[in-house]
Structure 1
Amino acid sequence: MTATTTERRPMTRSTAYPDRWRERVESADWGSVKAELDEYGGALLPQLISPQEARTLRELYGRDELFRSTVTMARHRFGQGEYRYFHAPYPEPVERLKQALYPRLLPISRDWWTKLGRPAPWQDTLDEWLGMCHAAGQTKSTAILLRYGATDWNALHRDLYGDLVFPLQVVVNLNEPGVDHTGGEFLLLEQRPRAQSRGTATLLPLGHGYVFTTRDRPVRSTRGWSAAPVRHGVSAVRSGQRHTLALVFHDAA
């Protein structure tokens, strides 16, 4: 078989560029990422998905067979817009990014739960951890493709789905701000212990990831460490269209 023929085969874990997802994840300055997470509960990641890959993912939205469920946000008072849960097994970018990100997010998660005096149930590999979720009845896939149009927005919320929760998750913007859409900033709202709530807004560049806390995070208090609840959402899209890939590291009941 010629090299040209090999390059035309569908991408799998064992064919062309098997390490490109991990290389992108590893290109982050993870010391700085942890510092940002510790301070704000969220941190920008490098470009995890190329413009062409982002376009390919956007085009998946209309393929019904790839998704197990579709949610119209206005119907449930979640905001305005629509999102779809992928079926597992996931398309390659989704699965490979989750597998590459998990080992980097795991020590941060364990550090946070140690500070909060909580047991950290997460296994050393994503597959083992998801096996625990499935044994507990959390078997539904949770990777999401979201689509926002002009005036759409996402209410502040937390993606918990069951008793077993991984404390960090990642979103990737699949459109170019200022070109494909205006508005649509990613929002975090943190309820600080005995203090005013603090909000942050981040405009995600095309293909870049953003890692943030799923439920809460440790903050220093007079008694050591306290848990500050955090919710996330998306501000109103002013014009154009915005797609987002959301990677959650626990499955749903």
Structure 2
Amino acid sequence: MLPGLVGRAECAVLAGMLDDGKTAFRSTVIMARHGYGRGEYRYFARPLPAPVQTLREMLYPPLAEVANRWATRLAGQRTWPADHAGLVAECAAAGQARPTPLLLRYGPGDYNRLHQDIYGALVFPLQLVVLLDEPGRDFSGGEFLLVEGRARMQSRASVVPLAQGDAVVFPVRDRPVSASRGWARATMRHGVAEVRSGQRRTLGIIFHDAA
């Protein structure tokens, strides 16, 4: 959890971008058309808005340290460059050149099925979501969900409580967990419960680019 990562005024500016023209975005996805749930999300085009680019560059280095610790615990995983520019260069070399930060919007009855944000062969293992609206004032329901799966175990679900401007950092695909014989791999998926009323908007920051 990163409480108050984005201020209220900046949350309003970011949320308002959803209604901008097409120039700020490279694509818009209507979730129901693809079986992803209900709601919509829009991927930013380059150049990314300054607040989004700053978050991506500022948060990446400490998360890369975590990702590299994870790599030592999960045999066979690669290590990651120290700065985000290095990751972007590696993504481009792998044929992944489309930016992945996005804005998401949910209204009454909308939800997001459990999923993973992969986008290509090169997958940085951590991402984050910032809540741009205030629960209880702007919307109800719409809880952020994490589900962990482990071999020979039933899945474990978590509900992450967020206030406006709070961020949650979570695994894209898997994470190391302590096991009886060292470290094991836990598979992670995330989603959003059904929004009961109002409008829920979020900013998603994925650090690797898309193929």
Q: TM-score, normalised by structure 1?
A: 0.81
Q: Are the equivalent residues in 2 in contact too, given 1:189–1:198 (CA < 8 A)?
A: yes
Report what 1:102 is aligned to.
60
Aligned residue for 1:190? 148
Compute the displacement of 1:92 (Å). Answer: 1.1
Structure showing greater radius of gyration is 1
Aligned to 2:15: 58
Matched residue, 2:157:
199
Q: Which residue of 2 aligns with 1:140?
A: 98
Superposed displacement of residue 122, structure 1: 1.4
Alignment RMSD: 0.9
Q: Percent identity?
A: 51
1:249 Cα deviation (Å)? 0.6
Amino acid at match of 2:2: L
Q: Is the 8 A contact 1:184 1:203 kept in 2?
A: no
Paired residues for 1:161-240 under 5 Å: 161-240=119-198
SS at match of 1:45: coil
Residue pair 2:2, 2:167 contacting (<8 A) in 1 also: yes
Structure 2 unpaired stretches of 5+: none
Q: Matches of 1:135 and 1:149 in 2, distance apart?
A: 38
Give the helix-richer structure, 1 or 2.
Answer: 1
* Displacement after TM superposition at 1:167 (Å): 0.3
Larger RCO (CA under 8 A, 6+ residues apart): 2
AA aligned to 1:235 is A
Counterpart CA distance in 1 for 2:76 and 2:11 is 37
Does 1:245 pair with 2:203?
yes
Is the 2:67–2:79 Cα contact (8 Å) retained in structure 1?
no
Mapped partners of 1:192, 1:198: distance in 2: 9
Contact 1:188/1:199 (8 A) holds in 2: yes
Alpha-carbon distance in 2 for matches of 1:54, 1:236? 22
Give the Å deviation of 1:93: 1.0
Q: Is the 8 A contact 1:70 1:82 kept in 2?
A: yes
Asked if residue 86 in structure 1 is aligned to residue 44 in structure 2, the reply is: yes
Report the secondary structure of 1:145's partner residue: strand
1:114 is displaced (CA, Å) by 0.6
Match of 1:157 in 2: 115
Deviates more, 1:242-251 or 1:199-208: 199-208
Q: CA deviation at 1:74?
A: 0.5
Question: Cα deviations across residues 122-167 of structure 1 (Å, max 9, x unaligned)?
Answer: 1111001110000110001100100000110000000000010100
Q: For 1:89 and 1:183, how far apart are their aligned partners in 2?
A: 33
**Which residue of structure 1 aligns with residue 84 of structure 2?**
126
Q: Please state how far the C-alpha of 1:115 moved relative to its aligned partner.
A: 0.6
Aligned partners of 1:175, 1:127: CA distance in 2, in Å?
A: 30
After TM superposition, where is structure 1 displaced by more than 3 Å over at least 4 residues in a row? Answer: none
Q: Separation in 2 of the partners of 1:190 and 1:232?
A: 9
Q: Secondary structure at the match of 2:163?
A: coil
Aligned residues: 210
In structure 2, what is the Cα distance between the partners aligned to 1:49 and 1:190?
27
TM value normalised by structure 2: 0.97
Q: Deviations over 1:182-237 (max 9, x none)?
A: 01111001002221110001131101110000000111223221111100000001
Q: Secondary structure at the match of 1:229?
A: strand
Q: In terms of mean alpha carbon deviation, does 237-246 or 189-198 score higher?
A: 189-198
Does the alignment pair 1:72 with 2:30?
Answer: yes
